Amino acid sequence: MSQVAKLFSNGRSQAVRLPAAYRFDTKEVFIRQDPETGDVILSRKPVDWDGFFAALRGADVPLDFLDKNERSQPEQDRDPFSGWGE
């Protein structure tokens, strides 16, 4: 059964009061919206990269995932901030 959380306004922002069982142990969370359902999903923001590297080590990547040419592409001059906004 789903629990219900209360919404409230704080200035021009909307906030969610989470029940104690759903509290996060960090100051920031990742937020995304499911494109199919519109559901808003909060995820714990890791404090370091350890989880990512552990998942990478455990990944089953085929040996032919990238051939020699795909791994050896020439350097490209691109704007790293192109399309980024805050």
pLDDT, one tens digit per residue, over 3-20 is 899 999 988 999 999 999
CB 30 within 8 A of CB 20: no
Q: Over the stretch 32-86, which tens digit does the pLDDT of each residue have? A: 999 999 999 999 988 889 988 998 888 888 888 888 888 888 888 999 899 888 8
The residues spanned by each domain of the chain are 6-60
- For 51, list phi and psi in degrees, rounded to 5: -65, -40
| Residue 1 binned pLDDT confidence (cut-offs 50, 70, 90) | low
- And the tokens for 54? 């552990």
Q: Which of 10, 2, 46, 4 is nearest to 25 (CA)?
A: 46
